[in-house]
Amino acid sequence: MSDEIAPQPPARLCYACGNANEHGLHMQFRLEGDRTICDYEPRPFQQGYPGRMHGGVVSALLDEAMGYAVYYAREWGATARLNIRFRRPVPMDERLRAEAWIVKNRGRLIELRAELKAADGALLAEADGTFMKLDRSFAGEMSELAQRAGRTDAPEVVT
């Protein structure tokens, strides 16, 4: 019997999706067709003006939804450009839905769109962004970390 302790998976501290970040958004995603979806319940500390979500939190929701669309496309990428259009104030008292999808996957860049909608389907904010694919070395490290954290859907990187 060995006295060696098995290595523990790394803590999931991502601000947007990490379940180990006590200050994070704790977003959870699923794939529906070609759309990455997150149903989200606002928290009081995310308020900007009274009763309205802070624009920075709205931006983070849309950015992370696009990041997961890249992940579900079996790629690793990082935000290179993010453009947000705020259509309506985002209420704090109802469930929201963030949706993202890939518009174009070409070379080192992936172009995406995302929307944040109210419970009744009204468009609250929308974004378009460009993600840059991570180089093979760093992408390989990310896949290894994801697998150690228990992810079975991590993009496979051939180095």
78/86 Cα distance (integer angstroms): 22
Give yes or no for a contact between 108 and 132, defined as CB atoms under 8 angstroms apart: yes
Secondary structure of 30-42 in HEC code, one letter for each residue = EEECCEEEEEECC
Query: Annotated catalytic residue: which of 3, 34, 63, 120?
Result: 63
How many other CB atoms sit within 10 Å of the CB of residue 22? Answer: 8
148/7 Cα distance (integer angstroms): 9
Known catalytic membership, residue 34: no
- DSSP label of 10: P
Give catalytic residue positions: 63
